[in-house]
Amino acid sequence: MRSWSAPVVPELPDRGGEVRLASTVGLPPASPPEPQEPGARRLYVCGITPYDATHLGHAATYVGYDLLVRAWLDTGVDVRYVQNVTDVDDPLLDRARETGVDWVELAAEQTELFRSDMTALRVVPPTDYVGAVESVPLVVEAVSRMLASGAAYRVPADDALDAASPGDVYADLSADPGFGSVSGMSREEMLTAFGERGGDPERPGKKDALDPLLWRVARADEPAWDGAELGEGRPGWHIECACIAATHLGLPIDVQGGGSDLLFPHHEMSESHLRVLTDRPGAVRLHAHGGMVGYEGTKMSKSLGNLVLVSRLVAAGEEPAAVRLALLAGHYAADREYSDGVLASAKERLATWRAAVAAASPAPAAEGGESGVPAGPEGLAAGAPTERDVLDGVRAALRDDLDSPRALEVVDEWAAAVLAAAATTGGEPGRVPGALVRDTVDALLGVDLSV
Ligand code: 5CA
Ligand code: ZN
């Protein structure tokens, strides 16, 4: 499926260092182990289910991983990045039914809205952007193999459209001794989370309440595709991401991402499917999860309807760069609350940074110097951060578990020093060209200060 257009990422001097990420699986912060392909990194981030896109929780997740992509690019490696679109699943079909729209149209329109929001937020697009619908043949092949090897079984579906249907297919978790290693949850916790997040612990006929759906045979008023020996039907959710990742990214995945609401069951089940299908442990080298963004006291979610949409903020005249800065003010892995105040602070910060870049730029008539040529740090107080300090400081903050709040502080300090210097020279430029700071903020933080 079509991705979105890529922002220009300026080249920076030298190279950034390896990024250490705190794994959600309880390991200390670490660089992902040496990549499978030297010089390349593989990232899979779970994409949207296309309805109610793009709220600030989604945006925070994709902007968070965008920091990783940009930090990796800054080290000089190739980044292979795959993201999916769950363009057929129960919540999407339910929403289409409730609102009387065609589910295909709803998915297409919301995916397009997501693309334009990601473009506005200057998120580097994935190398492969892949839908569930276009991946049905991959899922059919994988589920058929799991059935053949005894890692999956059929459960009769009394309400199947075709009375002769072979039934739905479920994964047999007992075939995977590694199950549970991702979340580390107790069975009790798993059962609760499974029931809350798209699972069906009560479904009669399953061998284990936690066994997840792999293939759902056709029902009345539900879309279905040719499943060969599986019968007409549609893919389960976790196997969708497992197949897309294995095929489009290749294994092992260096980093598997998504919001923390996906830790269980989604990432636990997806990795289990990958283990069973490839017969090897370690399909995912590092799980990192984004924190949940809340609004008015609760997690922002489609089902609760407490949504702040990127497109609505932009339509109301807010600049996407300010929205992005608002998201970067929190650490990607921390649960956080969005409020109008967070956006107001981000707007102020953006204006300050822009004023500092403008003040720092050499005057057009600077002695014989061409515009953009360093003119020396005259006017800055002793000990004030240089532009190179900003580059080094932002790099260091991002290397350390993508610490964007600290990265913003580094730029804040520089901006404050430049503006103070400009004030003491009566508004004259501090004669420190802002180009390196502008490029640093653009390349590593994705915020364009030039407009
Ligand atoms: N299609 C699946 C993943 S395969 C899905 O979870 N879709 S989603 O549209 O519900 O969410 C898209 C991404 O945004 C996921 O990575 C999810 O973890 C993240 N997300 C959803 N709500 C929030 C929130 N309130 N705060 C932060 N991230 C969120
Ligand atoms: Zn997923």
Q: How many angstroms does the Cα of residue 305 sit away from the middle of ligand 1?
A: 14
Calculate what percentage of the chain has a pLDDT beyond 70: 90
The SS3 of residue 394 is helix
Is the minimum distance from the CB of 300 to ligand 1 under 6 angstroms? yes
Residue 8 has pLDDT above 70, yes or no: yes
Q: Which atom of ligand 1 is the closest one to the Cα of 86?
A: 1
Q: How many angstroms does the Cα of residue 235 sit away from the middle of ligand 2?
A: 13
Lookup: tokens for 424: 């003491």
Residue whose entry in the numeric block shows the structure tokens 């990265």: 407
Q: Which atom of ligand 1 is the closest one to the Cα of 260?
A: 18
Residue 369 has pLDDT above 50, yes or no: no
Residue 300's pLDDT is 79
Per-residue pLDDT reduced to its tens digit, 144-174: 999 999 999 999 999 999 999 999 999 999 9
Q: Poorest-confidence range of 19-28, 70-79, 207-216?
A: 19-28
Residue 373's pLDDT is 38
Residue 376 has pLDDT above 50, yes or no: no
Which ligand is the nearest neighbour of the Cα of 289? 1
Mean pLDDT, rounded, for 408-415: 97
User: Do 306 and 296 form a contact (C-beta atoms < 8 A)?
Assistant: yes
Model confidence band, residue 78 (pLDDT cutoffs 50, 70, 90):
very high
Q: Poorest-confidence range of 314-328, 334-348, 371-385, 394-408?
A: 371-385
Pocket residue to mutate for ligand 1, from 54, 61, 62, 135, most atoms within 8 A of Cβ: 61
Lookup: tokens for 256: 């598997």
Q: Quote the CA–CA distance of 118 and 39 in Å, as a whole number.
A: 26
Residue 224 has pLDDT above 70, yes or no: yes
Q: How many angstroms does the Cα of residue 168 sit away from the middle of ligand 2?
A: 21
Q: Quote the CA–CA distance of 432 and 150 in Å, as a whole number.
A: 68
User: Do 418 and 359 form a contact (C-beta atoms < 8 A)?
Assistant: yes
Q: How many angstroms does the Cα of residue 303 sit away from the middle of ligand 1?
A: 12
Q: Whose CA is nearest to atom 16 of ligand 1?
A: 258
Q: Quote the CA–CA distance of 189 and 262 in Å, as a whole number.
A: 14
Q: Which residues pair with 82 in a beta bridge?
A: 44, 128
Residue 368's pLDDT is 41
Model confidence band, residue 267 (pLDDT cutoffs 50, 70, 90):
very high
Distance in angstroms between the alpha carbons of the first and the last residue of the chain? 31
Per-residue pLDDT reduced to its tens digit, 86-120: 999 999 999 999 999 999 999 999 999 999 999 99
Residue 279's pLDDT is 84
Q: Quote the CA–CA distance of 357 and 436 in Å, as a whole number.
A: 10
Average per-residue pLDDT in the chain? 91
Lookup: tokens for 29: 């912060």
Residue 431 has pLDDT above 80, yes or no: no
Is the minimum distance from the CB of 238 to ligand 1 under 6 angstroms? no
